Structure 1
Amino acid sequence: MNTKAFASQADLVEKQVSFTRLSENAYAYTAEGDPNTGVIVGDDAVMVLDTQATPVMAQDVIRRIREVTDKPIKYVVLSHYHAVRVLGASAYQPEHIIASRDTHDLIVERGEQDKASEIGRFPRLFRNVESVPAGLTWPTITFTGRMSIWLGRLEVQLIQLGRGHTKGDTVAWLPEQKILFSGDLVEFDATPYAGDAYFQDWPKTLDNIAALQPNALVPGRGAALTTPEQVQAGLQGTRDFISDVWTNVKAGVDAGKTLNAVYKDTYAALKPKYGHWVIFDHCMPFDVTRCYDEATQHADPRIWTAERDRQMWETLEG
């Protein structure tokens, strides 16, 4: 008898939305551990970072943007390829959708499968999924490494600081104000999803974020971090979680244990420290499975399909 509902299908509680002003240019749309959206208001245009999961959900972001500015929303930036981050893009009617070349390549390789997988896992995060246009969300501009977008005199740097949550992760950095939008490279009081991660690279990427010395940071999930001390706590919490998963899984692999045994051991080891974080039970099977892959024979993440999701869940939680 399977006691745990598959993934987050039983998660039906609506979250309270906050729209936090970090500076005269930077805002954070957050919802108690649901996926965040960043907003940058420049001299002549608005940039949105991560779109929400459907166009209907994106309308709430647009409503809040319109409470602070009437400037056109010209740019949408995708911090990475996951459906929950990109499928709301059409609502903003942007002139350009920007992503790293690595993110573009992941959309080509696995966008369709990932979309079906994510919608099946997390129905509440895809409210009004019928409002998503047919097909995938495609960038109109891609870059490698780093690029700057100028919103009038305001510079927004889009930077790949290393692999972590995915191989295509992009952060947005306001160098003059030292404000960073991290996407899912950093979470705060929310469990990192690592089903498409690079466990051995992620801590170094977090070090690269820390080296920028942000005064404020908008994580992928969780409240906006508005002081250097809070930023440090967010980075440390994410780093500790990723390191703890890797350490426990690697020990199990080295001892010749099966995925099932490694999962049970790792879950038990991490539950006391992280069990109160949002979506802990949802993420752990995916995180441990990917980590086990990386520690054994799969340097790169395997593609998740709706069927693979179900098989994995049955194996670990059935």
Structure 2
Amino acid sequence: MAKAFASAGDLTEKKISFTEVGEGLYAFTAEGDPNSGVIIGDDSVMIVEAQATPRLANKVIECVRSVTDKPISHVVLTHYHAVRVLGASAFGANQIIMSDAARSMVMERGQEDWDSEFQRFPRLFEGHESIPGLTYPTTTFSDSMTVFLGSRRVDIKQIGRAHTAGDSVVWVPDQQTMFTGDIVEYHSACYCGDGHYEEWGATLDAVKSYDPQSIAPGRGDALVGREMVDAAIANTRDFVDSTYNAVKPVAARGGSLKDAWDAVREACDPKFADYAIYEHCLPFNVARAYDEARGIAHPRIWTAQLDLDMWEALQG
């Protein structure tokens, strides 16, 4: 029996958690839906990840208002994906920050990604009529930048490619806390359709080199304490490596995309089948792994029609 396309069949509202991951630092999570982060400074607030729509962004704002009345001055977007950025207008921030690479991806494929994700995640895009258009940054950086929220220092850095070519992390040194975007997940499938498998492990090593005491990951529960942080990094590494290592020998012998699909299912289903959005991600993950293993360095631009074609070929 064919599976419902992507997350089209997931219409259940998720329970929101708002977890303190450090003094004045919070993770907004929702059972495997995209997370957001909150950094409270002396006079204002920074948001990390803007959600898919202003409707969802307002749920983040409600949580912020439960702990502070300080104005929201900055929004940091760790990468370009529609479910992370299209709610940005709701925050009324003075600055919207992205890496140069992430902005270039908005320019190259932002509309295609919006159309694609709208089709993949209908529940997340309820209230989409209020999205004013593609989200562009007001401020970009090429390697790293520092924002001071009063005396609180926040470092925004590119430490390697992983989930996309434009990934950034947000590091709050006074609490040794990192907001990683989708570089790190917790009991949620990694979406690798725009990823860089060969580099992801080194980027995870770079995350670990900061010795974070807490992490707000891209999806899944907030990670508080070194033990939970280390487990999530190791688990993310295992997910990415298990997928790519299953595909490489198939590509090397000239096997088909369907052969790669079968190899990944055999390797990954026993370990990850119960993870959030696992079935959703799998066709895109296998397709990207198959491309990269055959030397295609630049991830394809996923369109709404290409999504459907890929799903029918592999999950149909």
TM-score (norm. length: structure 1): 0.98
Q: What corresponds to 2:67 in structure 1?
A: 68
Amino acid at match of 1:13: T
CA distance in 2, matches of 1:297, 1:115: 27
Q: What corresponds to 1:221 in structure 2?
A: 219
**1:24 CA displacement:** 2.4
Q: What corresponds to 2:301 in structure 1?
A: 303
After superposition, what is the alpha-carbon deviation per residue over 1:119-147, rounded to whole angstroms, capped at 9, x for unaligned?
101111112111111x2100000001111
After superposition, what is the alpha-carbon deviation per residue over 1:134-181, rounded to whole angstroms, capped at 9, x for unaligned?
x21000000011110000000000010100000100000011210000
CA distance in 1, matches of 2:30, 2:315: 28
Q: What corresponds to 2:271 in structure 1?
A: 273
Q: What corresponds to 1:113 in structure 2?
A: 112
Q: What corresponds to 2:181 in structure 1?
A: 183
- Give the alignment's Cα RMSD to 1 decimal: 0.8
Name structure 2 gaps, 5 residues minimum.
none
CA distance in 1, matches of 2:128, 2:259: 36
Q: What corresponds to 1:128 in structure 2?
A: 127
Provide the secondary structure at the position in 1 that maps to 2:218.
strand
CA distance in 2, matches of 1:144, 1:23: 28
Residue correspondence of structure 1 range 143-158 to structure 2 within 5 A: 143-158=141-156
After superposition, what is the alpha-carbon deviation per residue over 1:69-89, rounded to whole angstroms, capped at 9, x for unaligned?
111100000010000000000
After superposition, what is the alpha-carbon deviation per residue over 1:224-278, rounded to whole angstroms, capped at 9, x for unaligned?
0000010000100000111111100001111221001211221122100111111
Q: What corresponds to 2:202 in structure 1?
A: 204
Provide the secondary structure at the position in 1 that maps to 2:237.
helix
Q: What corresponds to 1:86 in structure 2?
A: 85
Mean CA deviation greater in 18-27 or 228-237: 18-27
After superposition, what is the alpha-carbon deviation per residue over 1:79-100, rounded to whole angstroms, capped at 9, x for unaligned?
1000000000000011010000
Amino acid at match of 1:217: I
Number of aligned residue pairs: 316
Provide the secondary structure at the position in 2 that maps to 1:161.
coil
Q: Tell me, yes or no, if the aligned pair for 2:243 and 2:267 is still in contact at 8 Å.
A: no
**1:306 CA displacement:** 0.3
CA distance in 1, matches of 2:259, 2:20: 46
CA distance in 2, matches of 1:112, 1:209: 30
CA distance in 1, matches of 2:6, 2:190: 14
Q: What corresponds to 1:38 in structure 2?
A: 37
Q: What corresponds to 1:103 in structure 2?
A: 102
Structure 1 residue corresponding to 2:315, chosen from 301, 314, 317: 317
TM-score (norm. length: structure 2): 0.99
**1:17 CA displacement:** 0.3
CA distance in 1, matches of 2:156, 2:126: 29
CA distance in 2, matches of 1:120, 1:260: 24
After superposition, what is the alpha-carbon deviation per residue over 1:269-313, rounded to whole angstroms, capped at 9, x for unaligned?
210011111111000100010110111141010100001101111
CA distance in 2, matches of 1:265, 1:24: 45
